[in-house]
Amino acid sequence: MARTRPLPSVKQFTQLLSRVVNLKEYSAAIYLFKDICNLGISVDGYTMSIAIDSCCLSNRVNYGFSILGLFFKRGCVPNAITFNTLLKGLFRENRINEAQELFRKILREGMCELSVVTYGTVIDGLCKAGNTAMAIELLRVMEKGSCKPNIQIYNMVIDGLCKDGMIDFALKLFAEMTEKGITPDVVTYTALICGFCNLGRWREVKLLLKEMIDCKIHPDVMTFNTLIDALCKEGLVDEAKDVLHLMMERNVVPNVVSYNALMDGYCLQERVDEARKVFDSMASKNISPDIRSFNTLINGYCKKMKIDDAILLFREMRLKGLMPDIVAYTTLLQGLFRVGRCSSALKLFDQLQAARLKPDFHTYCILLDGLCKNGHAEQALLLLDALEHKGEHLHIVYYSCVLNGLCNAKKICVAQAIFRDLPSKGLEPNVVTYNILIKGCCQNGLLEEAKDLFLRMEKASLSRMV
């Protein structure tokens, strides 16, 4: 297209850009937009809006604002869709204050005509950020203005209140909504059911389900999944299985989330063989297990010390075309250390790095603690030194793991030296760190040193663990 003379129209270039975005190749779309501009194509507002969307979806909202500047340079007027995209991008990057400021600016300067979608974008972002109070304020503004809230807006706020455990406020808003003639839908009831489930108020859950059915609002897969998950977390896995059967009786097709929740319930009760049956049953329902399905079962096997089964499942994941994530590696790593297979665990850690996955805080804790508990405290110390030289963010928990290992290995002098050196690394020992070293000193007959540490801990105003 770039070599064609005359050049194709901006419409054809925009169609190509749109297709790249639909393929979720956001970085490629951004570069393509730059190339289109470099060719001298006179891009319009629609093309620039697509480019802004690419920036926001790839968590590069600052680039999106740079493109917004092009709107004004080219004499184009950005519309509500463009600003909605930028607002959503800011919320996605957790830049809540900036999103609120942009919204205020849009209101103050009348930059575009506000729609229910614009308000919904802000309300949804606020609720997901845990700022439900501000979302309610905005809802009240809508109620007084010309742009009235619809069922989707109320659902966002009700869901936010339920997730914050403010179920009574959610019910009050639910009553207000119905008084205004806005009919609740399956999403409204599912949010309330989820809120009551989280609080263990099963009587209200039953009443809501009955009310739904009486109003001819049929529970959907999300409603049933909410129930299954909540029951499993309460240890009522057999009741959760009954809900799964009820779904099928009501012609609601369970999805991978339904089966994952049930598997998780069985694994929490250490009924890993039954979890495996659920896992295998998915194939007969034409449902492909996802990464979470594998991770749940691998974790179940590791907790039951069935490490070989866990390894086989880990390998099966690759055969199914799923790449193990950091959770899968970390779970298996913990399982290998738990059964004392240190060399296999270290090989797995090497594979993790070869797969270009970045170990997280939990991974390093498992690695350091696993080495120490298997009698390799000095190796754990070398790893900690390597992390320090690599410029990794160090955490006091890492040092607590290694200090515990050194104390158990009777290397109290080394542990004391590391403890003394913590402030030079910008780390402050916490109550766990102190207790580890106090215990180590006591076990090695260093009672005066233990007493001195105890007094230092008191002076530092740290709470003592009983």
Cα–Cα distance, 359 to 295 (Å, whole number): 16
Cα–Cα distance, 25 to 411 (Å, whole number): 53
Residue 159 lies in a domain: no
Number of Cα atoms under 13 Å in the Cβ half of residue 418: 27
Please report which helix (H) or strand (E) contains residue 117, including its range: helix 116-128
Is 90 exceeded by the pLDDT of residue 118? yes
- In the block, which residue shows the tokens 């680039």? 63
Cα–Cα distance, 23 to 190 (Å, whole number): 32
Provide the pLDDT for residue 132.
94
Cα–Cα distance, 423 to 426 (Å, whole number): 5
Mean pLDDT check: name the lowest of 113-117, 171-175, 287-291: 113-117
Where is the domain boundary, 308, 324, 355?
355
Percent of the chain scored above 70 by pLDDT?
Answer: 99
Residue 283 lies in a domain: yes
- For residues 368 and 347, state if they share a domain: no
Cα–Cα distance, 81 to 272 (Å, whole number): 49
Closest by Cα among 370, 373, 368 to 386: 368
Each residue of 27-58: pLDDT tens digit?
A: 999 999 999 988 888 888 889 999 999 999 99
Each residue of 368-417: pLDDT tens digit?
A: 999 999 999 999 999 998 988 888 888 999 999 999 999 999 999 999 99
Is 90 exceeded by the pLDDT of residue 324? yes
- For residues 259 and 347, state if they share a domain: no
Mean pLDDT of 63-87: 88
Cα–Cα distance, 278 to 287 (Å, whole number): 11
Residue 338 lies in a domain: yes
Residue 93 lies in a domain: no
* CB atoms closer than 10 angstroms to residue 318: 11
Mean pLDDT of 55-80: 88
- For residues 239 and 305, state if they share a domain: no
Each residue of 140-165: pLDDT tens digit?
A: 999 998 889 999 999 999 999 999 99
Give the domain extent around 321: 297-355
Sign (positive/negative) of CA torsion 220, 226, 227, 228? positive
Is 70 exceeded by the pLDDT of residue 277? yes
Where is the domain boundary, 355, 389, 404?
355
* Residues 117 and 149: beta-carbon distance below 8 Å: no
* CB atoms closer than 10 angstroms to residue 444: 17
Percent of the chain scored above 90 by pLDDT?
Answer: 76
- For residues 318 and 387, state if they share a domain: no
Alpha helices in 25-60 (DSSP H): 26-38, 45-57
Cα–Cα distance, 335 to 370 (Å, whole number): 9
- AA letter at 370: G
Provide the pLDDT for residue 466.
38
Distance of CA 81 to the CA centre of its chain: 27
Please report which helix (H) or strand (E) contains residue 66, including its range: helix 61-73
Angle at 200 between CA 195 and CA 201, to 5 degrees: 75
Please report which confidence band the pLDDT of residue 462 belongs to, taking 50, 70 and 90 as the band edges: low
Mean pLDDT of 76-85: 89
Mean pLDDT of 179-208: 94
- For residues 280 and 253, state if they share a domain: yes
Sign (positive/negative) of CA torsion 239, 245, 250, 255? positive
Each residue of 242-270: pLDDT tens digit?
A: 999 999 999 999 999 999 999 999 999 99
* CB atoms closer than 10 angstroms to residue 321: 7
Cα–Cα distance, 333 to 328 (Å, whole number): 8
Mean pLDDT of 437-446: 91
- For residues 381 and 431, state if they share a domain: yes
- For residues 344 and 399, state if they share a domain: no
Angle at 29 between CA 28 and CA 34, to 5 degrees: 100
Cα–Cα distance, 308 to 302 (Å, whole number): 9
- In the block, which residue shows the tokens 């998915």? 282
Cα–Cα distance, 260 to 322 (Å, whole number): 16
- For residues 282 and 382, state if they share a domain: no
Residue 441 lies in a domain: yes
* Residues 269 and 237: beta-carbon distance below 8 Å: yes
Mean residue pLDDT across the chain = 92
The secondary structure of residue 423, as a DSSP letter, is G
Each residue of 350-366: pLDDT tens digit?
A: 999 999 999 999 999 99
- For residues 370 and 327, state if they share a domain: no
Is 60 exceeded by the pLDDT of residue 426? yes
Length of the chain: 466
Cα–Cα distance, 47 to 20 (Å, whole number): 12
Which tokens sit at 2? Answer: 């770039």
- For residues 305 and 249, state if they share a domain: no
Residue 306 lies in a domain: yes
- Number of domains into which the chain is organized: 3
Please report which helix (H) or strand (E) contains residue 346, including its range: helix 342-354
pTM: 0.81
Is 60 exceeded by the pLDDT of residue 465? no
Residue 394 lies in a domain: yes
Is 50 exceeded by the pLDDT of residue 458? yes
Closest by Cα among 382, 377, 365 to 410: 377
- For residues 333 and 263, state if they share a domain: no
Taking each helix axis from N to C end, the angle separating 167-179 and 151-163, rounded to the nearest 10 degrees, works out to 160
- For residues 371 and 450, state if they share a domain: yes
Residue 230 lies in a domain: no
Cα–Cα distance, 88 to 124 (Å, whole number): 9
First-to-last CA distance in the chain? Answer: 73
Under 8 Å CB-to-CB from 451, ≥6 apart: which residues? none
